[in-house]
Amino acid sequence: MAGNITLEVVTPDNAVVSEEAQIVMAPGEYGEFGVLIGHTSFLTTLKVGNLRYRDKAGSERVVFVSGGFAEVLPKKVTILAESAERRKDIDIERAKDAMKRAEERLAAKGREEDTDFLRAQAALQRAISRIGVVQGQGGA
């Protein structure tokens, strides 16, 4: 089937993306998956990472997502994430500060079953991923 698929990326605070895309690549819990118009419907969880898509003009776009859910329908992909930012909206200094804080907490803790340790690990993952979105190749 030819044509574009509608992409919506929604957080509790924001509609981060609402546009047509030629293709969407999302960081599924079990690996990255690609969606074109006409895809079979499914629902899956996402891990922290980059959502990539080609907009209707053919430009590559990258959006950080902090995990969440994806609902794929034949004409629409909806991403529900706790936080998400387009590449141009990521504050790199904030992400570097978050990375440093998380590394300091991990160095001070060292007990994997500790809640703070797990929180710091998750924060570190988000920070590394945001920095990767900004520093990686690809569109806005």
Can you give the binding site for ligand ATP, defined by CB under 6 A? 13, 66, 83, 85, 89-91, 94-95, 98, 123, 126, 130
Q: CA–CA separation, 64 vs 17, rounded Å?
A: 11
User: Are the CB atoms for 8 and 17 separated by under 8 Å?
Assistant: yes
Taken in order 75, 81, 86, 89, the sign of the CA dihedral is positive
Q: What residues does 129 pair with on adjacent strands? A: none
Shortest separation between residue 84's beta carbon and ligand ATP, angstroms: 7
Per the structure block, which two tokens stand in for 46? 């996402």
- Measured from the CB atom, is 73 or 106 closer to ligand ATP? 106
Report in angstroms how near the CB of residue 137 gets to ligand ATP at its nearest. 19
Nearer to ligand ATP, 17 or 98 (CB): 98
Instruction: Calculate the alpha carbon distances from 69 to 51, 118, 127 in Å.
Output: 12, 21, 20
Query: Which residue, chain included where needed, has tokens 């794929």?
Result: 72
Q: State in angstroms the smallest separation of the CB of 9 from ligand ATP.
A: 11
Per-residue tokens: 82: 């706790």
Cβ 27 to ligand ATP, closest distance in Å?
15
Taking the least distance from each CB to ligand ATP, the nearer of 5 and 133 is 133
Cβ atoms 56, 22 nearer than 8 A: yes
Q: For ligand ATP, give the closer residue by CB, 46 or 98.
A: 98
